[in-house]
Amino acid sequence: MTTPFKKRPKLTPVFTLLETAGKNYWANLGRIIKMLLWSLVGFIPLLALAVLAFFFQDVLGFDGSGLQILVTVLITFSLLWLAYYWARVYASLFLMVKNGFKLKTRPQFQESLRIVWSYISLILLVIIFLSPLLLISLVLFVSLNLLPLAPLFLILILICALVLLALAFILAIFFGLASFSLFFENLSAPQALKRSLFLIEGYWWVVLGRILFFFLIFWIFSLIISLPLSGSPSGSAWYQAWSGFIRLAKIVVYPLYLLYMVGVYKDLKIIKGDQPKFKARTKAAKTKTLK
């Protein structure tokens, strides 16, 4: 006898995901904005450096190579500090969602200190996995214009570049839930990547569809808020001011994506359950403790 085909469980429909995320977002918009404001602290070293550079160069007239090297080094460290602070803010947003927005902003931001380096490690791991594919494909695309090769070799190089880009894109989607696994399940960066692969396996197209749907909505939103710029000269004060408002609005709205993807993550977690290796480790740890 042949066993009947078993349908895979379906994920929550995209409009339901967006509606739930939207309600949660509006209910906690004040807390989200307060958390995003913490990122302004990251700009303090850059602001202080700009004031010092103006004082030494324009007021005191120092303009030597030693000063330029020092300023370059300080700018590098200031940018690293800014990136670290943005990582703290983004980690705090994940923790806010995990804790159901129950904690106040300051304690939640302080809690991010505990896990921010794991989050940074995860970002670096993703870069390590994806950058070789992207760099090699970029080199291949550049070689199409620089190398005088036969048409057959050019076509072969083009195909190889496109394949590498496709692999990078596929991996990027597979890693799309790694951050949620890191924060919601307290995993290490390598474990979070494995967990994301496990959750999305068999649902890659479904997850891609949900991501594309959200960014379609986000693109429509961007078009709507950009309408006041139509017909305005790009150098005008109005154009610059409204462009700044658009960038700010996109930053404020982006946490909606996090709330939206939480629904996808929870659906797949219910469907897939625990990853077998993590189960085995947990049981082994319990057995060790009992002994």
Distance between CA atoms of 256 and 29, rounded to whole angstroms? 10
Which is more confidently placed, 268 or 108?
Answer: 268
The identity of residue 152, as a single letter, is L
Position 67 pLDDT exceeds 90: no
Mean pLDDT of the chain: 84
pLDDT value of residue 289: 36
Q: Which of 163, 182, 201 is the last residue of a domain?
A: 201
Average pLDDT over residues 269-283: 69
Which residue has better confidence, 146 or 3? 146
Give the mean pLDDT of 12-40.
92
Identify whether 259 is part of a domain: yes
Structure tokens at 126: 């993703």
**pLDDT score recorded for residue 205:** 95
180 and 217 inside one domain: no
Burial 76-97 (b: 16+ CB within 10 A, else e): eebeebbeebebbbbbbbbbbb
Average pLDDT over residues 250-268: 93
pLDDT tens digit sequence for 177-217: 999 999 999 999 999 999 999 999 999 999 999 999 999 99
pLDDT in tens, 91-104: 999 999 998 888 88
Predicted local distance difference test score (pLDDT) of residue 154: 80
Task: Say whether 103 sits in a helix, a strand or coil.
Answer: coil
Tokens 């309408």 correspond to: 227
Return the pLDDT at 42: 84
Centroid of chain to Cα 282: 29
DSSP assignments along 46-83, one per residue: HHHHHHHHHIIIIIS----HHHHHHHHHHHHHHHHHHH
Are 31 and 95 a contacting pair, CB within 8 Å? no
Give domain status of residue 3, yes or no.
Answer: no
131 & 195 share domain: yes
Query: Does 120 share its domain with 195?
Result: yes
For residues 121 and 160, membership in a common domain is answered with yes
Residue 251 lies in a domain: yes
The parent domain of residue 46 ranges over: 36-104
pTM comes to: 0.83
Within this chain, do residues 123 and 193 fall inside the same structural domain, yes or no?
yes
